[in-house]
Amino acid sequence: MIELWRIRYFVAVAEELHFSRAAARLHISQPALSQQIRALEDELGGELLRRTRRSVALTEAGKQLLVEGRQLLRHAELTADEVGRVARGEQGRLTVGFVGPAMEGVLPRALRSFRDRHPRSRLTVWHRGTDQQLQALRSGEQDIGLLRPYQHDLSGLETKLVERQPYLLALPTSHRLAARKRVSLSRLNSEPLILFPRTTHPALFDRMLQTCSEAGYQPEMLHEASTKSMALALVSANVGVALVPAGSTAESRAGVALCKVTDTLPLVEIVAARSADSASAMAETFMKELMAAAQARLGVSTKSGAKR
């Protein structure tokens, strides 16, 4: 196999057609350069250069090697550049999963910044529940997850808090309590409640209903809405009241009033998680973008280890 550095030596001589100038360009001595060119010719079994006292000319084999050699060197440079980018976390593949509330908070800002800084990265983003993300993170299918840590097993994962939101009460604007800024759940009597599906966060779902019960609110009916947007649409249609993450108040729609709850509901906490064994420089780069977005948006703590 021909050594790449010998190809580089030959290309320099072929382009200069002068051993002294080529040696100066390569920062080696002329005798050493001549010796390496002869060794290359011996390895290939034929002359690459015709030498006289006054000139150096390429043979047909030399002309062919010059074309192929330039391509090899260019490919090597590109490969080294790409590998360097990957090693520095500037280029590569990255898969990020997220739960709905994350898209209302830090994630859009982090994605914009990441794409602006690293346009050559191959980024895949998907909306998945916490349980699905935990499985994907541990199997290596997913690099980073933005998930709800509430009473989930996060062992083997590095986690950092990126979002903390309260739940708000969403009421139809025609509701008797719609004008209030703060409402106790006890004032809702037995009105239908719209909540996220229990299958997505069983422990959190049960805790939410427990808080309602402790406050004296027993919904006569439960409706499930997999997204905040769907929950607000149902409230607007006067199907019931809803408990939704605060998120972006811009998502509030016509026919819906949002107010604070005086009772102590669990907070909407979101952590950025990745495998503790991960050595992905790209994942580390994206985590930094998430932390910057979290600090700019909410000033939340970026300490590792989310509260469970």
Q: Which domains, from first to last, does the chain contain?
A: 4-87 (1.10.10.10), 93-164+268-297 (3.40.190.10), 167-261 (3.40.190.10)
Dist CA 211 CA 194 (whole Å): 15
Dist CA 185 CA 200 (whole Å): 23
**pTM of the predicted protein model:** 0.64
Of the candidates 126, 165, 164, 163, the one whose C-alpha atom is nearest the C-alpha of residue 291 is: 163
Which pLDDT score, from 0 to 100, does residue 301 have?
44
Which pLDDT score, from 0 to 100, does residue 24 have?
92
Which pLDDT score, from 0 to 100, does residue 252 have?
61
| Residue-level pLDDT, tens digit, the chain, 308 residues | 778 888 889 899 889 899 889 899 999 999 999 998 888 888 888 888 988 878 889 998 889 988 988 888 888 777 666 666 656 555 568 899 999 888 888 899 899 988 888 887 888 999 988 999 999 999 989 999 999 998 899 999 999 999 888 999 999 999 999 999 999 999 998 999 999 999 888 999 999 999 999 999 999 999 999 888 899 999 999 999 999 998 755 556 789 999 999 999 999 899 999 998 876 788 888 999 899 888 877 655 444 444 33
Q: H/E/C letters for each residue in 274-289?
A: EECCCCCHHHHHHHHH
CA dihedral 146, 147, 153, 157 (to 10 degrees): 0
